[in-house]
């Protein structure tokens, strides 16, 4: 079944049923991705190590949020 066919079928549903369908689809997009979380954790560890080794400079929070 194509995406268009699915949409056509979904449009035949009652509004409450369409809402439930949409809500379920949106929730499925928000589920955590363990692999992506692992990639970000590795990146954070690399950045922390670089900072501690003096290879990466920090920026004070005040600098980030000051008005230009």
User: What is the DSSP-derived secondary structure letter of residue 13?
Assistant: S
**Tokens encoding 55:** 């290879």
The whole-number pLDDT of residue 30 equals 80
Q: Token digits for 23?
A: 């809500």
Q: Report domain extents, the chain.
A: 1-31, 32-68
Q: What is the mean pLDDT of each run of 10 residues along the chain (68 residues)?
A: 94 96 91 89 96 93 85
Judge whether 2 and 10 are in contact, CB under 8 Å: no
21 contacts 10 by C-beta, under 8 angstroms: yes
pTM over 0.85: no
């Amino acid at each position: 079944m194509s995406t268009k066919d699915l949409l056509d079928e979904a449009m035949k549903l009652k509004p409450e049923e369409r809402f439930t369908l949409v809500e379920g689809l949106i929730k499925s997009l928000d589920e955590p991705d363990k692999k992506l979380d692992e990639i970000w954790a590795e990146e954070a560890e690399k950045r922390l190590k670089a900072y501690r080794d003096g290879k990466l400079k920090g920026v004070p929070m005040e600098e980030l949020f000051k008005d230009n």
